[in-house]
Amino acid sequence: MAIPLDLLINNETNVYELTALAIKDAEFIAKYGDPEIEEHNGKIVSTAVAQVLEDRVKYAIEKKES
């Protein structure tokens, strides 16, 4: 399975937040593994991006006090 391009095109999330989240998820997958890697032909980044676009990665943004 490739990156879901329709979700990428229609995604209204901030591109920098999406990228940062995909990087963090890819680091996690590289360290601990994920059963979905085989579906993406062993490609960790493709797996991470797909999980982020499909809203399967939960996150929160902490706001710093000024």
- pLDDT at position 1 is 60
Q: Distance (Å, rounded) from C-alpha 9 to C-alpha 64?
A: 30
Task: Give the pLDDT confidence of 23-65 residue by residue, as tens digits.
Answer: 999 999 999 999 999 988 899 999 999 999 888 888 887 888 8
Q: Domain spans of the chain?
A: 5-53
At 14, give phi and psi (nearest 5°). Answer: -55, 125
Q: Is the model more confident about 36 or about 66? A: 36
Rounded mean pLDDT of 11-21? 87
Global pTM reads: 0.79
- pLDDT at position 30 is 95
Q: Distance (Å, rounded) from C-alpha 52 to C-alpha 48?
A: 6
- Long-range CB contacts (within 8 A, 24+) of 25-34: 25/51, 25/52, 25/57
